[in-house]
Chains A and B, each alone.
Chain A
Amino acid sequence: MTVETGLLTSQSKLRTSTALLGAIVLALLLAAPFFLYPIFLMSVLCFALFACAFNLLIGYVGLLSFGHATFFGGAAYITAHAVKVWGWEPLSGILLGATGAAILGVFVGFLAIRRQGIYFAMITLALGQMFAFICLQVPFTHGEDGIQGVPRGHLLGLLDLNHPLPMYYVTLAIFLAGFFAIWRIVNSPFGNILKAIRENEKRAVSLGYRVDRYKLGAFVMSAALAGLAGGTKAIVFQFATLTDVQWQMSGEVILMTLLGGIGTLIGPVVGAGLVIALQNYLAASDFPVTVLIGIIFVICVLLFRRGIAGEVMELLKRKAPQ
């Protein structure tokens, strides 16, 4: 009995401290553009959302996708085209990008979820390469040039996004909406089944779950959210290029998620922040960025297997009961 009540109070304590921490983080995010370069912050937010979407799949269903650039970059192209060529309003352009990514997710997911482990990763990689090749060939993506000079326009025809501050707050709002969606999915009845499938797929089948449908559902959700990130990126940077759909981008998001901590909500955000910060601040120096990121990656894999956020949380958990 005492153990149980102790557990309950520690849970409610945890809840209040999480709420407090959330409020502090939100205040920092709101104040951030006054201290840091807004373009850098927006870049972090877009990639953080991309990594969170990727983590929904690997962290909560146990599926390693090696082709997530398809959804990120595919959405970037769709959004860029809709806004530049069709003259769409930016938010609906972004939403169209996310919808396009979801449809791509249905196709890729349908083919890939029939296999597990390394085979799943290989199929997603192969389909991702095919998609990158299509993007190189079809006319609307403009091949090597990509779609350049996408106008930021006015959000819902009202808010001028050509100024950095409104653009930052819109990006932040989209990030928070995406992050909330992932948090909701993970902590929903559906999320509970996803975790069960990750834990023991055969048992889930023997309890009558058609696990393929759950996996496909999660795959499409992850693709749509990755598309949300990609579409937003196209508006923020005003271009969509082949870089966004190539396998290096799929690799980068894996790296971010691993560094930050798989299966933690905040881990991918930390990982994305770290990788983008390194790329930005080292871009001007002579030191090759990829070498340094490689070294950090090796150190992380050797020292903190759970990723940065994973290790910190484990440390707090170990401290908490005393």
Chain B
Amino acid sequence: MVNSQPILSATGLSMEFRGFLAVKDVTLSVNEGTVHALIGPNGAGKTTVFNLLTKFLTPTRGRIMFRGADITRLKPAEVARLGLVRSFQISAVFPHLSVRDNLRVALQRPSNLATQFWRSSNVLSKVDDQAMSLIDAVGLSRYEHLPAVELSYGRKRALEIATTLALDPTVLLLDEPMAGMGHEDIGRISELIRRIAKQRTVLMVEHNLNVVADLCDRVTVLARGEILADGAYDVVSADPRVREAYMGTEHE
């Protein structure tokens, strides 16, 4: 099941914000076809690592390779075009567009329907079949015409995953996909991620350790900007340093 070929890797990644070292010498490799979790206590630098990998931040030091190519100096839109697509911690939808229009926006560029300013937007109905199948896949068919802002939190996350999938990415980076979700939603989104992972690679930041144990093939633990442990969930969770990092922050 686990393919050992790394599809995305970072070497010696560091990020400094005005003298504060948020990420210290992180070396990480995500193997093709796996679900890889990035966990760690609050403030460990998980989201910063995400921002570095997707080029929303440029690393102070280090190198990032994706499918054998160096992407360290690329712009975020370029990285997305290569097939490395992220979601955000705060639900990133287009709030006043309908669910269907959110999907249309994601599908427009791959279908070459993004720059025509002289045509009616009715031509966008070409991508509607694709949009509907993605909406169905995340269980939002009933809300097709609803503005995204009116969806419940969990459904917004589902919509975001659907728009991310619309780009047909090779690697999905999901930043806390389950944050703030109810029990029912967690089950549904877990199922969805499991289905996605059959054909793609997933790297996710997640706090819910049950979800991590259930879904992920490999876990990297980050604490204070450094990698603390890396390996299978059972091995990593038994590691005393990992336990201390989690407990330690609560006692300090």
Contacts and interface: CB of A to CB of B under 8 A. Distances in A.
Tell me what chain A mostly uses at the interface: helix, strand, loop, or mixed: helix
A207 B105 contact: yes
A137 to B, nearest CB: 36
Interface stretch (A12-20, A166-174, A180-188, A226-234): A180-188
A221 B117 CA distance: 10
A208 B76 CA distance: 7
Contact of B121 (A7, A189, A196, A209): A189
A295 to B, nearest CB: 32
A305 interface: no
B251 interface: no
A214 B86 CA distance: 21
Contacts of A188: 116-121
Contact of A203 (B92, B101, B121): B92
Contacts of B93: 200, 203
Interface stretch (B8-16, B107-115, B129-137, B205-213): B107-115
Interface residues of A, number: 28
Contacts of B105: 192-193, 196, 204, 207
B153 interface: no
Contacts of A196: 94, 97, 105
Contacts of B113: 189
A211 interface: yes
Nearest to B163: A207
Contact of A206 (B80, B104, B123): B80
B80 A193 contact: no
Contact of A190 (B95, B101, B114): B114
Nearest to B121: A187
B167 interface: yes
B108 to A, nearest CB: 6
Nearest to B92: A203
A210 interface: yes
Interface in B82-106: 85-88, 92-97, 101, 104-106
B145 interface: yes
B77 interface: yes
Interface in B136-152: 145
A187 B84 CA distance: 30
A192 B86 contact: no
Interface in A241-271: none
A200 B163 CA distance: 13
A202 interface: yes
15 contacts: A185-B117, A188-B119, A189-B124, A190-B117, A191-B117, A193-B108, A196-B94, A196-B105, A199-B95, A203-B163, A206-B56, A208-B80, A208-B81, A208-B85, A208-B167
Q: Which 10 residue pairs spanning A and B have beta carbons closest together?
A: A208-B80, A190-B117, A199-B94, A203-B92, A196-B105, A208-B81, A189-B113, A185-B117, A188-B117, A189-B116
Interface of B: 54, 56, 75-77, 80-81, 85-88, 92-97, 101, 104-106, 108-109, 113-121, 123-124, 145, 163, 167
Given A187-B120, A195-B94, 17 more contacts: A189-B114, A189-B119, A189-B124, A190-B115, A191-B121, A192-B121, A193-B108, A199-B94, A203-B94, A203-B163, A204-B105, A205-B56, A206-B76, A206-B80, A207-B106, A209-B109, A210-B75
